[in-house]
Structure 1
Amino acid sequence: MPLLVMKFGGTSVADLARIENAAKKVQKEVERGYDVIVIVSAMSGETNKLVGYVEGTSKLYDAREYDAVVASGENVTAGLMALRLQEMGIPARSWQGWQVPIQTTAQHGSARFVDIPRANIDAKFAEGFKVAVVAGFQGISPEGRITTLGRGGSDTTAVAFAAAFGAERCDIYTDVDGVYTTDPRVSSKARKLDKIAFEEMLELASLGAKVLQTRSVELAMRYKVRLRVLSSFEDTDETSGTLVCDEEEIMESKVVSGVAFSREEAKITLFTIEDRPGVASAIFGPLADAGVNVDMIVQNISEKDYDDAHPGAVTDMTFSCPINQVERAKKAMEDAKATGLIGYDELIVDTDVAKVSVVGIGMRSHAGVAAKMFNALAAEGINIKVISTSEIKISVLIDRKYMELAVQALHDAFELEKA
């Protein structure tokens, strides 16, 4: 039988009524002739509650026990979904990660997939079962312990199952009806996209769009898994939502497909660093060791020199990172200075910034995108602090108070409201 993977997030299974609603969507696909693997998240708010229990019990908790507790939320949802489907006359059973078994690495709290053997689930389909309801977000380590994949891990579970079972498609049901040109809460002109390329979706996800988890898009792109983002709360058909697919499936792309933004950014500058080979490594090595996710980087000649005979002998280095990693970054730099690895006069942190980005595969073949972006921001009096680019993305760091204005200006400048 043809096979579909359907994933339901926490808001889609938040209570018994919503679980019933999700089960009806599964029923429709079964009636169309599909075998279905359903991936479920914990009920909305349940994971946060379980994390709170762990942290309230032990500040320096054993990561293996953390996973054992936190993974239980998905087990409850999977069992309830299987029961509801059975009540509707659909042969279904639930699967916990270890029963599949979903084999992962032993990195508790952030495990990665190693293998998803098909044999056990295929055997149940052969017996006449129509639906396998699998607890997302979890697996089993080589040592036989329960593992979890990190926040958003159920999206990644769904894509991994679609790849392992050769599914026709992977449908991600959530609380929005697709991928938009930008957040509709920021711009009333935001338009839902019918299709978006994997690369564009990956950039948007990594730049702050919350629709899909970044790792799930990476996996889908690697294994060419066609993803569809749909609303759990609307009637849907085969044309609903947004299809995330290979670039070749999109006949003609706009130069820019979307505008992404992130409020949770910080800018850190190290002043008066010796300008010599290896200085960048001496800075970003310790940051990497400390687990700081550095994004944008700018190096420039410092206003100060060691002496008049050596102009340009010192430099300033600026980089951005998530705002919740600032203290970690400061400590890494202070430790590096204390051990003589680097020297600098001053470390300045600016936590009042935001990142705004334009993304589109059409940039590859069109000139002038940067000029149009910078002109649109200049027309609104918005100063750019840092710029970074890739083949299909341009990102800028600006004052946070101008973020929404910047998003609206760029959405208008590239006429994203037009199909």
Structure 2
Amino acid sequence: MRLIVQKFGGTSVGSPERIRKVAERLIESQREGCRVVAVISAIAGVTDNLLKLARDVSSQPSERELDVLLATGEQAAISLVAMAVNALGSKAISLTGAQAGVLTDRVHTKAKIANISPRRIQELLSDDYIVVVAGFQGQNAEGETTTLGRGGSDLTAIALAGALNADACQIYTDVDGVFTCDPRVVSDASKLEEIAYDELLEMAGAGSKVMQSRAVEFAKKFSVPFEVRSSLNRNPGTLAREETTNMEDVVIRGVSVERDQAKITVAGVPDAPGTASRIFSAISAGNILVDMIVQNASDQNTTDISFTIHESDLGRAEELLAPV
């Protein structure tokens, strides 16, 4: 029997009607002869609301406590999806990241997956359950709740597909697949039937919101092909894999747009060996991803170093750079 992992984003479960549609799709896949694992994100807007609530309570909330709080968004969503499946007459059970065997490192808010022990999922699949797993979260070796950072549910789905040796992995979003540009920005953007991991990784790294770059890296490393498609219709999506048939024929594959960027300029730093290393070592220690780096020409043995990061990391980056 084929095993399929299906991931649904926040907009796909954004209302009771959409949750029922997700449940119907899961049941349909099972009736077609598949063992089904669903990975669910928090309902659209919930994570942002929880973050706002945390910052209304504390200007600098503990990252550990943030993880405990933010993980509840996905936990609410998986419970609702499992309830919807059960209400339609099929068997479903929800699992948190920890219950699903997702083990991470000790970093809070941006943890990396260290290992997945899928035995409990496999046992439940053998008992004909549709297994509904919380994306975005796991547990470290001390039993602490951790989260995987922005877009972490994509990573959860790809990692589970690899650990379970799934026959297919489908990433459901609110668009029909991967487009040459965001169709919400460019109305006549074209959908790609297939795309190579490296191409999608470049687009994700440049700001494309359709997939999280760490998830694409994981898929490439462990050779996990996946399809990006819409949860709102039955149209075919975009298949991501190692190579595509026309990979060498395309000059430009797509254009990405990134709006949530912040630029930091460290002015007047000594133009000497090791200076840039100290700056970016401090940023790296905070698990902050740097996108673009620009260094001005030296003027009187000093230089300016500018770089861009995600807007949400700006406050943390300023703290890390203060003592450098």
Both structures adopt the same fold (TM-score exceeding 0.5): yes
TM-score, normalised relative to structure 1 = 0.70
Preserved contact between residue 109 and residue 149 of structure 2 (Cα < 8 Å)? yes
Counterpart-to-counterpart distance in 2, 1:187 and 1:96: 37
Counterpart-to-counterpart distance in 2, 1:260 and 1:104: 30
Inter-CA distance 123–315: structure 2 relative to 1 (3 Å threshold): same
Amino acid at match of 1:17: E
Inter-CA distance 19–287: structure 2 relative to 1 (3 Å threshold): same
Counterpart-to-counterpart distance in 1, 2:314 and 2:54: 25
Q: Which residue of 1 aligns with 2:65?
A: 65
Give ranges in structure 2 of 5+ residues lacking alignment. Answer: none
Preserved contact between residue 197 and residue 245 of structure 1 (Cα < 8 Å)? yes
Amino acid at match of 2:42: A
Amino acid at match of 2:87: E
Q: Which residue of 1 aligns with 2:45?
A: 45
Counterpart-to-counterpart distance in 1, 2:70 and 2:258: 28
DSSP 3-state at the match of 2:258: strand
Q: Which residue of 1 aligns with 2:141?
A: 142
Inter-CA distance 42–333: structure 2 relative to 1 (3 Å threshold): closer
RMSD in angstroms over aligned alpha carbons?
2.5
Q: Which residue of 1 aligns with 2:224?
A: 225
Amino acid at match of 2:19: I
Q: Which residue of 1 aligns with 2:87?
A: 87
Match of 2:278 among 285, 297, 314: 285
Match of 1:244 among 240, 254, 258: 240
The 5 Å alignment of 1:36-185 reads 36-129=36-129, 131-185=130-184
Q: Offset at 1:326? A: 6.3
Give ranges in structure 1 of 5+ residues lacking alignment. Answer: 307-313, 337-419
Preserved contact between residue 196 and residue 250 of structure 1 (Cα < 8 Å)? no
Counterpart-to-counterpart distance in 2, 1:127 and 1:323: 43
Q: Offset at 1:166? A: 0.7
Inter-CA distance 50–254: structure 2 relative to 1 (3 Å threshold): same
How many percent identity over aligned positions? 38
Counterpart-to-counterpart distance in 2, 1:272 and 1:122: 55
Counterpart-to-counterpart distance in 2, 1:177 and 1:157: 21
Counterpart-to-counterpart distance in 1, 2:70 and 2:124: 27
Preserved contact between residue 300 and residue 315 of structure 1 (Cα < 8 Å)? no
Q: Offset at 1:300? A: 5.9
Q: Which residue of 2 aligns with 1:385?
A: none
DSSP 3-state at the match of 1:260: coil
Stretch deviating more after TM superposition (265-274 or 104-113): 265-274
Q: Offset at 1:316? A: 4.0
Counterpart-to-counterpart distance in 1, 2:22 and 2:103: 27
Inter-CA distance 301–12: structure 2 relative to 1 (3 Å threshold): closer
Aligned length in residues: 319
DSSP 3-state at the match of 2:255: strand
Inter-CA distance 88–266: structure 2 relative to 1 (3 Å threshold): same
Counterpart-to-counterpart distance in 2, 1:41 and 1:293: 22
Counterpart-to-counterpart distance in 2, 1:104 and 1:77: 22
TM-score, normalised relative to structure 2 = 0.89
Counterpart-to-counterpart distance in 2, 1:331 and 1:20: 45
